[in-house]
A = this chain, B = another copy of it.
Amino acid sequence: MPPSHAAPLARLDRDPWAARLPHETRAALLAALRPRLYRRGEALFRQGEAAAHFCCLLEGELEVSTVTPTGRAHVLTHLFPVRWFAEMSFLDGLPRSHSVVATRESLVAAAPRAKVLRLMETHDALYRGMVGILCENMRLLFMRVDEFQKRSVEALAANTLLNYVPDARAGAVEISQTTLASLIGASRQSVNACLSRWERAGVVARSYRRITVTDLDALRRIAAA
């Protein structure tokens, strides 16, 4: 489905975070947002750049990644709409810790940092709201670290897949095996072998760039093991 050009910010009407802001604050923030369409593969910003915007993904999908000092790129996670992001750099003013790239055509609304900072001077709720987003993301990150203390590809793949299921339609997670492997830092072959085993057991179905979860409970059991 192509992103809607007519009323780009319309999707924010149903965003629970924005809804919790005072009416006037919310209106002021929305007025500062500038929507922009990104093509597949296009970068929103790169690791190391200065924080310049507070952003919201309205449609599409974004990939958050880092390059290690040695040059290898690691995918941290993917973002799905509606999702506010880039709040950490915004709040502490330090350079971006990650690169963000559109993995498909995506609609992103961005508010310039200077403008939002000025807004915050009079709208305290905006600052507090952003801290709320930060806390939420930090709790997710803690869960992520927890998952990594299981080292088997089986458990890691199951956990990662489960994290993506909420953003999937009908249990079909649109992710390549190669990317899934990169998310957990394993080789694509071992991930493939794992999925192959699961398919034989009737837990998932594989197809090109897509994994369909057919037995969610079984997957959960594998993830917990």
A136 contacts which chain B residues (CB < 8 A)? 92
Determine whether the beta carbon of A145 is less than 8 Å from that of B141. Answer: yes
* Stoichiometry, copies per complex: 2
Determine whether the beta carbon of B70 is less than 8 Å from that of A224. Answer: yes
A26-34, A103-111, A146-154, A205-213 - the one binding chain B: A146-154
Closest to A135 in B: B92
A53: min CB distance to chain B, Å: 17
- The B-contacting residues of A in range 168-185, CB under 8 angstroms, are 182, 184-185
Interface of A is mostly: helix
A68 contacts which chain B residues (CB < 8 A)? 146, 224
A22 interface hit (Cβ, 8 Å): no
Given A74-B149, A146-B66, verify A88-B138 contact (CB < 8 Å).
yes
Chain A 53-97 against B: per-residue CB contact (8 Å), 1 yes, 0 no?
Answer: 000000000000010111000101000000000001001101001
- How many residues of A sit at the interface, in one of the four size bands? 20 to 34
Across the interface, A142 reaches (CB within 8 A) one of B97, B132, B182, namely: B97
User: Chain A: residues with CB nearer than 8 A to chain B?
Assistant: 66, 68-70, 74, 76, 88, 91-92, 94, 97-98, 131-132, 134-139, 141-142, 144-146, 148-151, 182, 184-186, 224
Q: List 18 A-B contacts (CB under 8 A).
A: A66-B142, A68-B224, A70-B224, A76-B145, A88-B135, A91-B135, A92-B131, A92-B135, A98-B142, A131-B134, A134-B135, A137-B138, A138-B141, A141-B141, A141-B142, A148-B185, A149-B185, A151-B185
